[in-house]
Amino acid sequence: MDGSSGVDSDYQAHRAAFAVFAEQWRKGDHRAALAAAHAVHEQVLAAGQVDLRGVALNCVGLAQFELGEFTAAVESHQRAKDLSGRSDVRGFAALRANLARIAAGESVAYPQVWEADSAPGQLAALARSEHPHLAPAAGVELGRLLRGEQHFLAAIHGYQTVVDSGHPWFRPRAAAPLARLLREAGDHEGASRVLDHAGPEADAPDLVDLALAPLDEPEAPPFWLAPVRPGLDHYRAGDLAAARAELRATAAGDWRHAAHQAGIVLAGIELRHGDRTAARQLLGDLAKTADFTHGPRAAVALAILDAAEAAPPDTATTVGPVSALARYLTRDQDVLAGLEALAQGQHPLAGVFAALLGDLLDDGRPGSGAAHWQATAVRSEDRLAAGYTAYLTAINLTMWDNTERVVDALAEAYESAPAVLPWAAVRLGEAGLTNGYGSGDSQSFFTDVLETSHRALVPRAAAGLFNSSPADSWSAEERYELAEELLTGDLPAVAVASLAWLAAEKLITYEDDLDGGREALERIPESDPEFGAPALAVRLLLDEDVDGMRSVFERLARWDDRSLDIASECCMSVLWKLPDESAVARRALLVLADLGDQSTPLAYKVSERLIKVCQIQHDLDGELVAREASNLRRGGPPGGGVLAAARRFYLAGDLDQAIELYQRVNTEDFPEARSKAAVDLGVLFRHQGRHEEAQELLAADVHPEHCFKLGTDLERAGRIDEAILAWGLIADTDDITWAVRANCYLGKAHADRGETDAAIAAYQRAGATQDSFSRGMAWYELGCLYQDQGNLALAKEAQQRGADVGARLGEDGETVVGVCRLRLAQLATLSGDTEEARRRYLDMVDNADRGTAAMGAMMLGGDAKDRRDVAAARRWYQWVIDSGDMFQRELALAYLGELYYWIGDRDQSREFYQRTLDSTGSNPDLVAEAAYRLGEMAGQDGDTDQAVRYLERARDTGDATFGPQAGQLLGRLTG
């Protein structure tokens, strides 16, 4: 990479024009800077310099941004990204384009951070990439955005990643806001550590420096980071001592990416110059890091070194495998011919050397032939070669925004190369969490990492395990068990909190072990930004210190929603374990109601539990507050909570309290609740004989749905007279939906009370409405009433009208059609027209839904069974068995067992009774008969043990007919 190349000469011709832009921009004359940027773009366009066009367009975008022309800036940076093949040009363009999109008004709401096409999502993807400069630059911007949206935990993560990188330019920029956030979270020691190690923000490049950096890297894009270059220059000049000294100094530095790159070069130097022990040590240390570029490279190098040392010597090539590996690690372009010879030869590692050759050629130069050797590596059927090639594709600096391809490549690496599995698994798991590629699968990837004991990756994998959504209950249990197991070992301190929280969640929520949960929570330091305050809140609740718990929740309410959520959920799990009579439970529920997470599922659970506790503790005021809050949260009208409490007292028979509560909302202040209270009070007063008061109330607007539900509530409470009054209010309403339902319920209520004329009138009103399921069933019930009265003609007419309604409803009316047709067939039998009945049953089998057809077949089978026509009965019952109708199938099996028992065919009877037992678990009548008959036959055969087992089963069903018989037979058999 010397500066005398032809490319550098071409770049030199344009540097002066770029310098004009830089000067104007730094002077603050952004209009002049924009003109200069356009001029230099025209110049490089005329010269055919594609990569420099990207640089020039980035300059145009910078000037446009400063002038407030955000949309234009987006377009300029996007053109730069599309034109250039250089990762530094494309990355900078993406960074600035997305910041311009946000400045132009695009939403930065936190969920969009993880939507791949959104501006925040693109920034997040760049921050997760392996770009040594632009990833931390994006991380700083992402942290700023997240903090502004008050997503403090995500902001901490973004800033922490930048600080941990040790990048000399961006670590100081991330350290100060990170320290402020840590102080807000209560981690003052962590904040001090961040600032102590951040270092001064000195000699950091400005935006123009970053935009123009490619001009200093004509052999684009740069592979070597600046701190590594002096040592590499010494090495290439033959000064090993100076090279080692420079590289060791860099390896000891804070900038991890540079330090690890220096370590890789040092390992290559030691490997080439005879000290394999030192090389292995360097590679082994790097393979233990969380560096997603150099860690896997070191792990693969160790695997190659092991395989090369175990393979027989290769005399067919001029460069030996170990020497080729060493020169690969120093990115020595002069080894290309040697690598090609190894890749094309018969060496067992030929596929791996093809992968190394493809990587070396792919140092960012399009058209270098890298793709050919990468394809060769994949085709080699060498798993290490294919997996390493896939992994290199995934971390390629030009691929960071192609999420789908990156995930596919990571999956191939994960499946193929154990050497890179820990890093690939972490990236795959995080991709599942952040990009919607299956968070349920993420758990398995993080589990693999945690089980490899790769210590440096454990914190990320532990956090990922916590954030994963188990695919099923088995996965959830596995997740909890793994967390508990890991907590018994030696963990990095930063990994403890998330795993301890999972362990506590399991112990408290699923095992009712509050003491064990407390012990797990005690392992979480209060200073932990995410879990510290939630753990403290739960511990205080367990200690019955509700005031302390409230204080923590007041702090959580000002902090991050995520911590508030997990604290609320875990406290709620504790509260489910406390008795309803507990004063602590009531006070803590009030804390959650006031300050806890207000998302619908949890808020609903808190409200329902608080309402119940207040009821049991006779805290009417607390109940009313909780009910009203729940009512308003669900979008109910003001006063709806009081109305619900009044309904509770009404149904329970406490009419004085009910009336008092109804009167509270029977005012102009609660217009919607007032009209509903008037309905309830009107029904109550009419039942009490207070007709004048009821009449005044019922003049108000009546809500049909409210009346109907009032009736059903009263019916369930056993207050049938009042239920009839409520349904009667809407029996003639214009709202057909509720009118027909109300009349159906009225019909049943009157029929149950023996008030046949009133029942018939109600069903007739329902039958006179437009077609609906309820209308069809009204005709059915009316037909049954007529049948009970002995009026078979009217019964037949009603059932036919019901069947016609059902037929017009299509699939929605199949049930109506089935029951009406069955009744019509039964009516034909009652009328003595057996042929008509048989025709109707056959029609049901041939032209109805499965359930109706099965009923028809059962009736035909039952007729044959009564006539002892075994063949016909067997045919129809077998039809039912094969139909798939589970209820009728069980009956058919039992009836066949009974039929064969009648005719003395014991083998067939035994078979079908046994099949009845094997398929029937919920119908005690069928179980009782089958078990009794099987026991009886076993006893007759002399098999007392078998008989006893069957008879005990029959007896234990409690069936009124066969239970006592089984008990008597047992007594005779056992003496």
pLDDT per residue over 652-700, tens digit each? 999 999 999 999 999 999 989 999 999 999 999 999 999 999 888 865 5
pLDDT digits 0-9 by tens, 49-77:
887 999 999 999 999 999 999 999 999 99
| Domain edge (last residue) among 170, 187, 215 | 215
* Length of the chain (residues): 975
Evaluate whether residue 426 is within a structural domain: no
Q: Do 153 and 181 have their domain in common?
A: yes
pLDDT at 922 over 90: no
- Residues 836-857: b if buried by 16+ CB within 10 A, e if exposed: ebbebbeebbeebeebbbbbbb
Q: Do 255 and 150 have their domain in common?
A: no
Share of the chain above pLDDT 90, in %: 73
Evaluate whether residue 506 is within a structural domain: no
Q: Give the phi and the psi of residue 626 in degrees, each rounded to 5.
A: -65, -40
CA 770 to chain centre: 44
Q: Do 16 and 101 have their domain in common?
A: yes
Exposure on the CB side of residue 563, measured as CA atoms within 13 A = 28
The CA R_g of the chain, rounded to the nearest whole Å, is: 40
Q: Is 280 exposed, middle or buried (0-12, 13-18, 19+ CB in 10 A)?
A: middle
pTM: 0.78
- Report the pLDDT value the prediction gives residue 6, as an integer from 0 to 100: 46
Q: Do 176 and 247 have their domain in common?
A: no
Q: Whose structure tokens read 């971390």?
A: 395
- Which range is least confidently modeled, 87-96, 697-706, 717-726, 922-931? 697-706
Question: In degrees, to the nearest 5, what angle opens at C-alpha 124 toward C-alphas 119 and 129?
Answer: 125
Measured CA to CA, the distance from residue 46 to residue 53 in angstroms comes to 10
Number of domains in the chain: 4
| Domain edge (last residue) among 364, 382, 416 | 416
Span 394-420, average pLDDT: 91
Q: Nearest Cα to 134, choosing from 410, 425, 401? A: 401
CATH number for the domain that contains residue 169 = 1.25.40.10
Measured CA to CA, the distance from residue 969 to residue 524 in angstroms comes to 66
pLDDT at 783 over 80: yes
CA 800 to chain centre: 51
Residue 275, by phi and psi: left (phi above 0), alpha (psi -120 to 50) or beta?
A: beta
- Report the pLDDT value the prediction gives residue 135, as an integer from 0 to 100: 94
Q: Do 239 and 207 have their domain in common?
A: no
Evaluate whether residue 253 is within a structural domain: yes
pLDDT at 438 over 60: no
Q: Do 201 and 244 have their domain in common?
A: no
Evaluate whether residue 169 is within a structural domain: yes
Q: Do 155 and 300 have their domain in common?
A: no
Question: In degrees, to the nearest 5, what angle opens at C-alpha 138 toward C-alphas 133 and 139?
Answer: 100
Evaluate whether residue 243 is within a structural domain: yes
Q: Do 155 and 258 have their domain in common?
A: no
pLDDT digits 0-9 by tens, 543-574:
999 999 999 999 999 999 999 999 999 999 99
| Domain edge (last residue) among 586, 615, 635 | 635
pLDDT digits 0-9 by tens, 598-613:
988 999 999 999 999 9
Evaluate whether residue 818 is within a structural domain: no
Q: Do 203 and 65 have their domain in common?
A: yes
Evaluate whether residue 664 is within a structural domain: no
Average pLDDT of the chain to the nearest whole number? 91
Q: Nearest Cα to 746, choosing from 676, 738, 816? A: 738
Q: Do 106 and 210 have their domain in common?
A: yes
Q: Do 265 and 356 have their domain in common?
A: yes
CA 813 to chain centre: 38
* Sequence letter at residue 887: F
Domain range for residue 560? 538-635
Q: Do 169 and 273 have their domain in common?
A: no
pLDDT digits 0-9 by tens, 813-863:
988 988 999 999 999 989 999 899 999 999 888 876 787 888 889 999 998
Measured CA to CA, the distance from residue 719 to residue 576 in angstroms comes to 33
Q: Nearest Cα to 282, choosing from 255, 293, 295, 291? A: 295
Beta-carbon count within 10 A of 345 CB: 14
Q: Nearest Cα to 697, choosing from 721, 714, 680, 672? A: 680
